[in-house]
Structure 1
Amino acid sequence: MAMTGVLRPGHAQIRVLDLEEALHFYRNVLGLVETGKDATGRHYFKGWDERDHHSVIIRQADRAGIDFFGFRVLDVATLNQLEKDLNAYGVKTERIPAGELLETGERVRFQAPTGHFFELYAEKTHVGNGSGLVNPAPWNPKTAEHGIAPIRMDHCLLYGPNIQANKDLFTKVLGFRVVEYVMAPDGEHTAAFFMSCSHKAHDIAFVEHPEPGKLHHISYRLESWERVLRAADIIGMNKVPVDISPTRHGVTRGTTIYAWDPSGNRFETFCGSYEPYPDWEPIKWTFDEFGYGLDHTTGKLHESFLTIVS
């Protein structure tokens, strides 16, 4: 499919409670590649097969959660046009100067109806994956086997109020499409939207929740079900607290583990799913069957998954 407008997820800035503890986790347990530290004390990471300078930023704070989630757009002209489109839709924007994040160009920041902050940007330094662009090896042994070793930061699930307004903003202005959705128990309202700007089943998802601006999880993509099971071994060896152990989703059909970083930010190790064409109709899940949408192996609606956010 043609890639225009908003291309893909680009970065997430995550708040952690104990920086040294978090650095050990993100470096050695999750196994992300550290790419820098800025003057404010933020640390930058990427998946081993990502080419951009970073996709995950962590900073110390007095409460866990997410500061903002960014998307890469096609080019500077697209960035400028999308800012105009957001303003015309009634959304206020802020220009963040180039260099405020390491190796990143100007960003356009806005707040969605759910209370979350999002960013759009067109430029970030390419650092590659260590294998080069000429006759590369299929994977880099220095990074692809260290810790869980995600390929990339893949998507994000956010909790907040008024997700219908978020859906309208993302579809009408930013060009996303709804791939799957979950009905609320009343059968009339929508409890969750899974949305894509690319070839994936979801690049962002929203769940209705009374508190604004909450993080449910950041998802990290692995290559195979075997790598998810390897992640389970590493999670167990490091006594990482687990929310949902290895299973398959009905929603998006991905295979998954959910666990928490040392600050209580949930993360997912994820693989599989499917690649929907833009003309496909969205898949609907009724709430009475959503247990199988969440955990297709057991059909269980895990209470922790529905209620614990950061």
Structure 2
Amino acid sequence: MAIMRMGYAHVRVTDMAEARQHYTQTLGLNEVAAVDNKVYFRGWDEWDHHSVVLEEGGVGVVKYGWKAQYAEDLAEIENNAQKFGASTERFSKGDNLEVGDGVRIFTPSGHVFEVYHDITSGQVDVGNVNPEAFPRDLRGIGAPALDHSLITTPDVALMEKFMKDVFGFWTAEQVATSLDDDAHKIGCWMTGSNQIHQLAFIEGPEAKLHHFAFRLEEGWEVNRAADLMSMDDVPIDVGPTRHGITRGKTVYFFDPAGNRNEVFAGGYLSFADRPTVTWTVDQLGKGIFYHARELNERFTTVLT
């Protein structure tokens, strides 16, 4: 069984025209389809049909898609979720644009996860034969791909157990009240691959989105991204800076609806046998923002 990656983030926005401008011209995603009140996007280095779905009407996350390595994985993941005690249901090919059959899981955090294997796929924008390093016609930031998301949950330890038992993920980094084995956890950064984190969650209300993030290759691209945000009058939340947790370079900003985005570069490789890194609560500011070593109120309170 293997969850390869977060396949898509499906998010609500208040004004589709403004959202299109932000995600295509500032972030540089490609619009690939528009059906009913939903618009679909992907980055230039993604080969599946889409990685972002925007739905007009509100704010916050609707659901996440997770791509399984094999079709046979769906039954095992469904069984794992039911053993855990999570509610599940099957969905059929066509219920989601260009996505095949799958399993819908209702998580302890109040979020909806959809697991699938089949999705319409092609090739990245530079092709699969003798490709160039990047497309010449990049727009704005030119984000290559969706990277990860951070959500909130009332019970961090329970959500961590869910991700371990159902998806086979492990905890790369965590924030706890102490170094004791029974310490209260207030945050986890988890992955099922050598990507440093695919999903993170912190203590907070059910079913809320903190941010969803796009991958960049180099740290200097994060600084360039912030410059482009200023050119486009995009509200910057924090950065550019570095995380202590994951060691990634980052800048946080808001889409026109108020959903928080991030562009993220670097971070170290994670493996299942690597010891979990623990940050204590008294060092949380440094863990989140390594240079400033303190959290701003907006970063900890603004959720959608």
TM-score of the two chains, using structure 1 as the length reference: 0.94
1:45 equivalent in structure 2: 41
- Matched residues in 2 for 1:264 and 1:184: separation? 31
1:54 equivalent in structure 2: 50
- Matched residues in 1 for 2:191 and 2:214: separation? 16
Q: Does 1:34 align with 2:31?
A: yes
Q: Does 1:6 align with 2:25?
A: no
- Matched residues in 1 for 2:140 and 2:73: separation? 37
The percent of aligned pairs where both chains have the same amino acid is: 37
Where structure 1 has 5 or more consecutive residues not aligned to the other structure, the ranges are none
- The DSSP-based 3-state class of the residue aligned with 1:93 is strand
Contact 1:182/1:190 (<8 A) preserved: yes
1:228 equivalent in structure 2: 222
- The DSSP-based 3-state class of the residue aligned with 2:284 is helix
Note the 1:282-297 alignment, pairs <5 A.
Answer: 282-297=276-291
- The DSSP-based 3-state class of the residue aligned with 1:193 is strand
2:14 equivalent in structure 1: 17
- The DSSP-based 3-state class of the residue aligned with 2:163 is helix
2:162 equivalent in structure 1: 169
1:305 equivalent in structure 2: 299
* Match of residue 67, structure 2, among 67, 72, 75: 72
Amino acid at match of 1:66: V
Amino acid at match of 1:55: S
Q: How many residues are paired up?
A: 302
Q: Does 1:122 align with 2:117?
A: yes
Note the 1:72-221 alignment, pairs <5 A.
Answer: 72-142=67-137, 145-184=138-177, 188-209=183-204, 211-221=205-215
Q: Could you tell me how far 1:185 is from its partner in structure 2? A: 8.4
> Could you give the per-residue CA deviations for residues 71-107 of structure 1, whole angstroms, max 9, x where no partner exists?
1101111112211221222222111211222211112
1:243 equivalent in structure 2: 237
Contact 2:108/2:159 (<8 A) preserved: yes
CA RMSD after TM alignment: 1.4
Amino acid at match of 1:10: G
- Matched residues in 1 for 2:111 and 2:245: separation? 23
- Matched residues in 2 for 1:259 and 1:186: separation? 33
* Match of residue 259, structure 1, among 245, 248, 253: 253
Where structure 2 has 5 or more consecutive residues not aligned to the other structure, the ranges are none
> Could you give the per-residue CA deviations for residues 7-61 of structure 1, whole angstroms, max 9, x where no partner exists?
11110100001111111111111111111112x3211001110111100000101
- Matched residues in 1 for 2:255 and 2:207: separation? 19
- The DSSP-based 3-state class of the residue aligned with 1:132 is coil
Contact 2:153/2:159 (<8 A) preserved: no
Contact 2:3/2:68 (<8 A) preserved: yes
1:280 equivalent in structure 2: 274
- The DSSP-based 3-state class of the residue aligned with 2:263 is strand
- Matched residues in 1 for 2:228 and 2:18: separation? 17
Amino acid at match of 2:55: R
- Matched residues in 2 for 1:207 and 1:184: separation? 13
- Matched residues in 1 for 2:277 and 2:165: separation? 19
Contact 2:193/2:271 (<8 A) preserved: no
- Matched residues in 1 for 2:62 and 2:28: separation? 22
Contact 1:185/1:288 (<8 A) preserved: no
Contact 1:98/1:106 (<8 A) preserved: yes
> Could you give the per-residue CA deviations for residues 131-189 of structure 1, whole angstroms, max 9, x where no partner exists?
222212221223xx211111110000001211211111110221000000012489831
- Matched residues in 2 for 1:92 and 1:212: separation? 16
- Matched residues in 2 for 1:41 and 1:64: separation? 14
Contact 2:99/2:120 (<8 A) preserved: yes
